[in-house]
Structures are given as structure tokens and as C-alpha cells.
Amino acid sequence: MYIGNHHIENNLVVAPMAGVTDRPFRQLCKRLGAGLAVSEMVASDPRLRATAKSMRRTDHRGESAPIVVQIAGADPANMAEAARYNVDRGAQIIDINMGCPAKKVCNVAAGSALLQNEPLVGAILDAVVAAVAVPVTLKIRTGWNRSNRNAVRVARIAEGAGIAALSIHGRTRECAFEGDAEYETIRAVKQAVRLPVAANGDIDTPEKARDVLWRTGADAVMIGRAAQGRPWIFREIRHFLDEGVHLPPPTVAEIRAVILEHLQDHYSLYGEVVGVRTARKHLGWYSASLVGGAAFRHEINQLEDTAAQIAAVNRFFDGLCERGERLTYAPTRTAESESSASWVEEALAA
């Protein structure tokens, strides 16, 4: 698959997720089989560029190409300037967010709220495409509610503006992340435009990836929540699509190594204090379906330094090894992981 002049090695894309798809996580997913990874959303408001959070999000040192930065906003001029700013800082593809359903984004008429204003959609796309020499892509939802699925019209606007590729989440803004994703609208978009299209939403197993590609005719699948605590899902899907058989599940030793590598990169980006606190959610996801995971999460949410956090990880995995446990991950988000909002919020607030 090509996006502009960039050849993407395979058709597996890491979805942009605020607070998740930072540089260490993107790099890890790429190493484990993803062909492309999109950054966390970066606000287009120039007043926010000097914040520590924004500076981290636009730090691409050591990141493998192509570097994709997602920008969000509702003002065409600000979005164009944000695109130029991020290209100057290393972005090789600019992605525009018109898919986020979060209230704090939609309340400022950005994200998926833009789908209600097709003229403004066109103005933003025209401004950003004209502002930079790199490919510009777009992420949308199927519409703003079930009665107003306008993804086909928006896709045609995007194609006319010179957008290089689309990704579509199979829910409306109103749906947020509730209910099942639907793929008929994605299929209709793919049939209506000549752009590369990535299908997104509820893709959590190799079989589901295969089926969604077949049902939609999409060129790629975009995976978000299913990769939280399971970044090796990309190599599992890639192997299944290529060979038609499943990879063996990862061993305790393999996943311990993945987690420790992830932690070192994470600490390097965030530093000691912020790094420990922001790593908690990842460690919670990694352990969500493992024996003893609840006690482990309680422990790590009390720890305040990197050495203690790493020691806790090693103790936890030593215990799994002693019991002869083999890591097995449910193909869908378990009840435990779905109810994990409280411990994630606890970890972030600590």
C-alpha cells in the first residue's frame, strides 16, 4: 500500500489513541508487525505548542519512517499552520482528526463534531493539503449519529481536496465506543472513492481482521484498543493473513522482554516521575487477563520510582514462570479490562 510516495510494508495500522500511542508504543507496535502507526492527537492551537505534553508528542527522535502526526482543530488557518509546524519537526504524513468523539474535543467543534459541517470539512482539508508538501490523510467516523451517516459525502470531499488516504471508524460520533462497529458504510466509502481506505473498529483477532478486509474491500485495517497490553496482535494478524494459520501464543519470557523494553523506552521519553505514573496504565493492560493481575495492578499503582516498578514486573513474571503459566490473551476485551477505567483513572490521577 502507498500513501503518497510512502510505501507501507503491510496493511496493519496502529490507530491514534490519546495517552497511548506515544513514540515508545508506536515503535513497539511497528517492531511487532504493524506497517504504520499514527501519533497521538496534537492540538492545532498554537498556544499549546510549548507545553511539556505537546513537546513530547512532537518528539520523533529515533522513530522509524514514515512518521505520521495527527492534528486536530476546527480553524482552517490554525490547522494549516499546525501541519507546517509538525512537518518542520519531522512529520512525513499529516493525519487530520475528524473522528474523535470525546466531549472536550467535540465541544470546541473539532474531531467528529466537524462531520456536521461539511463546508468546514472542505475548508480545513483544502487549507492543510495546500500548506504542506507531504501526504495528508483523514480519519473520520461513519457520521454524527445513526440517522446521519455522511461518510460517503465526506470521503468525496476529501478525495476532491487531495487527501491521500482515509481511515474510518465504523461507529458514529453519537455511538462513541458503544455497541458493535458496522462495516457497510466503510464498504460504501471504498466503492465511492479511489483512495486507500483503512477500516477501524472492533478488530481484535486475526479472523476479524480477515473478515473485515473481505467485507469492506478496505486496503488496510486500523487497530486501537485491542493493541492495548497486546502489541503483538500485529504479528499475529500479519502471520494469519500471510499464512492462514495462527502463531503460537507468546511465552512468559517473551512478554516479560517486551514489557521491559517498553518500560525503558517509556521512561526515556517521560522521565522518572511522569514515566512511572504514565506506565501504570500499560502495565495494567498487559496484566489484565493474567493470573494475579488485579493484585499486581494494585501494587504498581502505589510505586513511585522506576526501579521499584521494574522489580515488581520481574516478581510478577517470576511467579508466572514458577507456576508454569503460559500467557494467554482473550481475543476480545474481557470484563475485567472493560471495567478497568477505575484503576486507569487512579493511576493517572496519582
Q: Which of 100, 106, 175, 321 is catalytic?
A: 100
Residue 17 C-alpha cell reads as: 489513541
State yes or no: is 321 an active-site residue: no
Beta bridge partners of 97: 139
| Catalytic sites, residue numbers | 100
